[in-house]
Amino acid sequence: MRKWAFIGSLAVSFAFAGVCDEVDLRRHLPFLPDSVKVVEKREVYSLCEMVLRDREGFFTIYGTKDYVIVGNMISEGRSVSNESVQAVQSKVVKEKLSDLRALAATVYGSGQKEVFFVSDPDCPYCNGIKRKVKELADKNGYKVYLLWFPLPIHPKAKEKAISFVCEKRTYEDYLADAYGKGVCSEGTAKVEKALEVLNGLVNATPTFIFSDGRIVVGGNPKLLEEEMR
């Protein structure tokens, strides 16, 4: 009796085995770096959709046991891939909210809505949008958390970011390009930690992260106005 019960349980498990259980990603993509991780997977249109994460962010791969497809899945005019990536990003952002708040170089405004303005002191697009951010925060009731993400292409940016934190500069100082010249362990640690926490979420500046999980990249004033309503 036990024998037949065991065989029956095996039959049930095989009956409910999904396409994602059969995909061996490393077999199809042996060159995939070990740093790339599968964050979530699900069955979509008889394929296994895998949302992966690397240093640059999130992306999707689709496959079965026999093959994988790298690219964007479109269905009836909507990007299934983008929707899946955005859902994962939203989940990750919400898990990191307390860290993002704690790592702010300064905070502007006292509104109920929150946005995290990820900037680089020497980023021209950030400098071009920073006054618009203040204007929209005042107009629409936002609290703006300024986080530093100095890029390697700007050799003096990290030093400026650290000085800004050490001297407890404000958003008004940011508008005036007043970063200071002080260096301290607290400032260094905060900037380094911000780079670590933002890794995988941010790969360019400016990036705007909203507390509901939305992520907007670039210094487009019109787009930002739509998002910061």
51-60 pLDDT per residue, tens? 998 877 789 9
The per-residue pLDDT for 3 is: 41
Any residues with CB less than 8 A from the CB of 76 and at least 6 apart, and which?
A: none
> Mean pLDDT, to the nearest integer, of 124-137?
97
Share of residues in the chain with pLDDT > 70 (%): 92
pTM value is 0.78
Q: What is the pLDDT of residues 69-119, one digit of tens each?
A: 998 999 999 999 999 988 888 888 899 999 999 999 999 999 999 999 999
User: Residue 154 is inside which H or E element, if any?
Assistant: none
Q: How far apart are CA 161 and CA 164, in angstroms?
A: 5
Which alpha helices (H) appear in the chain, and where do they start and end? 2-15, 25-28, 80-102, 124-140, 157-166, 171-175, 185-198, 221-227
User: What domains can be seen in the chain, in order of their start residue?
Assistant: 2-94 (no CATH), 103-227 (3.40.30.10)
